[in-house]
Structure 1
Amino acid sequence: MSDCNQSVPKLSIAILVVGTRGDVQPFLAVARKLQEYGHCVRLATHSEFSGLVKSAGVDFYPLGGDPRVIVEACTHPDPITGDSFRAQAIIANPPAYGRVDVAEALGVPLHIFFTVPWTPTCAFPHPFIPHISHRAGYWLSYVIVDILIWWGLRGHLNKLRKNKLNLSPINGLLDTNQVSISHLPTTYMWSPRVLPKPNDWGPLVDIVGYCFVDLGIKYEPPQELVEWMQKGVAPIYIGFGSMPLKNPENTTNIVLEALKNTGQRGIVDRGWGGLATHAQDVAENIFLLSTDCPHDWLFPQCCAVVHHGGAGTTAAGLKAGCPTTIVPFCGDQSLWGAIIYERGVGPAPIPIAHLSVESLSKAMRFMLQPEVKSRAVDVAISVRDDDGAAAALDSFHRHLPLPNLEQGDQVQTIFGYLARFCCLFCAS
């Protein structure tokens, strides 16, 4: 335990996460580490992740839904224990808009945690504007994204400030402090060996390593999957998570034909996009996965992985030592695809619009090269050496304004405020 940890009092901490399962899982690892220290933690995210959060032993509160129900759930004592909760600090990811306003109104410190680069830098462009070719535009791309988000949300945020938080509205068209994170302590949850900290990120920014939750320990796989895995060599995993497919049947045909061309066994994960949903009479070397299967259980048993490039899925593949092909759809996925290629643990990313039998077959053959596997194993060893959650705890403690923490006792309704804001925004 670092020296800064020894002087930090036990706090009530609200963690606010907006995003997909891959966004939520790293926060569970951090929440559990905070609890180990002695902090009282509530994690607020989408209702569909209630079971995931609770199974990790972390208190859950929903964001969204009926505001009246949400306000009651977030302001009343714990329905089981009767314990009260008063947040003294907030941890949030950037998509949890309204975080700055709520923290301001309640007088508590705010700390940003994220799995995607969101701090302006001249090292690489904003993940949402990946095709900028000139370094001079990299830093500007982050400013542009902040301005566009502020223009889209300023009406909602000002309504929240005026009607719920008793704060003055912010009318400047370029005053992006309510959505920017440049002025806030920020902790990034990826390995610095995969993406090092840029030289122009100052002391407010830390990169702590991947924060994993080992879901595979309690996982009981279907017997048919176990038996199929035992019948042959390690397969290639292909799945695109929650990404929608414009033509699932065509994408399925590409995947199956590429596996046939390369003579490989394959696990095809149907995911949310309906991959292989209508496939019938597939070859014996193909297993169609239609149930949730933790990546930390599955990927170590695969020889390579092909996926959309979400931060969480990419991290799981790297930890498992799997050569990786990323098929980006949107957002930060192209960034991780480029990094995989630069590290030599996979081919150049194949945008979903360019996915073909030829391109996927070529990518599979690239991943099967012994030297690519060797590099992937080296990366896996370095990733496993990180204790991201412990480093995240240190980062959080190091940036706390300790003399001012007692002011956090005034916090009563943070979850009610944020949940009501999310409802207003989603309904608009």
Structure 2
Amino acid sequence: MQWRGLASTVPQFRREVLKIPRIGMWHSAGSLLEDWGVPFSYSFSPSLFPKPPDWGPNLDITGFCVGSQNTTYEPPAMLAKFLSRGCKPFYVGFGSIAGDLSYIYKPILEAIKDIPDLRVVLQKGWGTLKDITAEDFIHIPNLKDRVFFICTPPAICPKCGKKPEARSHSDGLFCDDCVDSSSIEYAEGTWEYDILKALGRDNIAFLS
């Protein structure tokens, strides 16, 4: 899929800049690796996934790409408070992977329950968690000191029933027009409400 997205740019770069033969969109990913020897770099840590012995010299695991450490970023107040309450947490997220990821998150939550000192920042990402319920959280000892959850807000504001164009706050259950005047009980019956009740208001951020 990545090759399909880059196939109109890479051949031109090869021909005009590198002065080597262009590669057509009709070439499969397998032929790019095996026949053409196109170099690929995977930006994850070899400590997580060492380079397999059958990978050729054109495939490399480079480690994470980390930009400048000088940053003015300040986390939302709720997240900053969580970070200050204990040891550095692990971050667990699956980014743009779509579909129901409940089968992945359930064993993660079980691991948090079973490892006493483990602290985690969980991010829902693009996937859904249809089978994850409040029950999956409430059995974790010292839950509020150990789990911070970041997820997307509901598509529809539970109070006014409108689809917000944007939300400017991390308490994103409600749209900007309703947030200051709304009790979380307006969201009762939603998946987000159940998770919020389990984790507490200070341990979940709804971020678009």
TM-score, normalized by the shorter chain, greater than 0.5: no
TM range (shorter): 0.3 to 0.5
Larger RCO: 1 or 2 (CA < 8 Å, sep 6+): 1
Query: Taking structure 1 as the reference length, what is the TM-score of the superposition?
Result: 0.24
1 or 2, which has the higher helix percentage? 1
